[in-house]
Amino acid sequence: MNTMPNQLKQFREDRLSRILDEGTPQLLDQPLIKRSLAVVAVASSWITFATLLIATNPQVSDDFRSLTRLRIIASAAMAVSFLLLRVSMRRVTSLPDEFLDERELANRDWAFRTGYMVIRRVGLALTLLLIGFLVFSPFIQVPRGPNSDLLWLFHFNNSLLGYVTQLVSTTGPVMYFAWVAFLLTYVAYSFPLVLLAWREAREGVVIKGRHPDQSNLHKLATRYFRKLWRVVIFGALTIASMYSFSVFQYGYIWVIFAWVTYGVYVYFWAIYKLGSTLIALQNPALGANIRLVRQSLLRAFTTSAITGALIVFVFAFANQLNLNILPAFFFGFASVILHIYCFALVRRIAYMTASEQRN
């Protein structure tokens, strides 16, 4: 049956087949590139951490804007380097044990074991420091006499409290701890990848994918996901930069316009390609399983078309009917999710067709 659990299982199998078939992109498989990504990941995380330790006065706009700009650039470098490391290491980190040799298994186990051990110890040390500060700080705040041996500790505690207060008030406690949580999460996920990439680069072993002849459907799905990644990365950098640059300064408004235009182009390109694919798959000679997946593709495509029409309706009649345009963004998000699901089904059909041809 074409149930959701079965489809998820098939998608996981497709992903494993894609990793085995495509291998690692040639550029990301170079030892120098792996080392460079590891260095960028570590350096950008330390820069982000350093910006979280600098207490600036938000009323001094130049200092605050410069610090925010540096933090955003460093966090963007963190995100990009992490994504590229994931791609470069996806064979070792994503494939089951039976697809890896002893060297890859040893490197993977060492990297994740060492990485998580370091992270646990760092996390434990930070937790103990925080608990110690919260427990002992109220007792140290008691004023001491001028000749007390603990007078220096009293002044140190007051200075530390003032520093922490100013540090958190720079962006507000919620945003500040959100940045800290983001940094800790990034380190937890990226540090094993950094260790693994460095060791793999040192050994310099390149394992190429099987690179079978890919059908037009497989190539179409790959093209869509590449376009979607461009929209996501470009959009993340664009939105993040809005906190550092004035929208109408240095022509920055045209950067936003270019991102939106490209996103709309990818949206309508996906609709056209999915419609053409559905027409091409109207072949009675196709197997029963492929026809079943095509029915799921048709339902998802129809639903995405309805959500797209609702977007147009909301924007076209917002003034006449006094409508809130916020639902249009939810419809757009739902439509993109449906497109992702549709192209995953297209790739599923490509693998099923190739399997039938081999048999």
- Taking the C-alpha atoms of residue 228 and residue 339, their distance in angstroms, rounded to an integer, is 10
- Note whether 130 and 41 are same-domain residues: yes
- Taking the C-alpha atoms of residue 158 and residue 221, their distance in angstroms, rounded to an integer, is 60
Average pLDDT score over residue span 281-303: 83
Answer with the one of 155, 188, 207 that is the final residue of a domain. Answer: 207
Side-chain half-sphere of 161: how many Cα atoms within 13 Å? 13
pLDDT in tens, 12-48: 777 777 777 766 777 777 888 889 999 999 999 999 8
Answer with the one of 160, 181, 207 that is the final residue of a domain. Answer: 207
- Note whether 251 and 307 are same-domain residues: yes
Region for 57 from its dihedrals, namely left if φ exceeds 0, alpha if ψ lies in -120 to 50, beta otherwise? beta
- Taking the C-alpha atoms of residue 190 and residue 245, their distance in angstroms, rounded to an integer, is 29
13, 1, 5: which is closest to 355 by C-alpha? 13
- Note whether 31 and 166 are same-domain residues: yes
pLDDT in tens, 183-207: 888 888 888 999 999 988 888 766 6
Number of independent structural domains in the chain: 2
Answer with the one of 207, 222, 248 that is the final residue of a domain. Answer: 207
- Note whether 44 and 146 are same-domain residues: yes
At 217 the pLDDT is 84
Task: Assess whether pLDDT exceeds 70 at residue 98.
Answer: yes
Average pLDDT score over residue span 66-87: 84
- Note whether 144 and 245 are same-domain residues: no
CB 314 within 8 A of CB 341: no
At 273 the pLDDT is 92
Lowest mean pLDDT among 244-258, 260-274, 311-325: 244-258
At 175 the pLDDT is 78
Lowest mean pLDDT among 134-143, 157-166, 175-184, 289-298: 134-143
Residue 254: strand, helix, or coil: helix
| Residue reference for tokens 């680069």 | 201
- Note whether 52 and 177 are same-domain residues: yes
The percent of residues above 90 in pLDDT, for the chain, comes to 12
- Note whether 244 and 200 are same-domain residues: no
Lowest mean pLDDT among 1-10, 170-179, 312-321, 340-349: 1-10
- Note whether 324 and 266 are same-domain residues: yes
Lowest mean pLDDT among 10-19, 205-214, 325-334: 205-214
- Note whether 92 and 178 are same-domain residues: yes
| Beta carbons within 10 angstroms of residue 31's beta carbon | 16
**Cα R_g (the chain), whole angstroms:** 26
- Note whether 225 and 78 are same-domain residues: no
Range of the domain at 299: 1-23+212-359
| Residue reference for tokens 């053409």 | 276
Task: Assess whether pLDDT exceeds 60 at residue 176.
Answer: yes
At 194 the pLDDT is 92
- Note whether 284 and 260 are same-domain residues: yes
- Note whether 99 and 111 are same-domain residues: yes
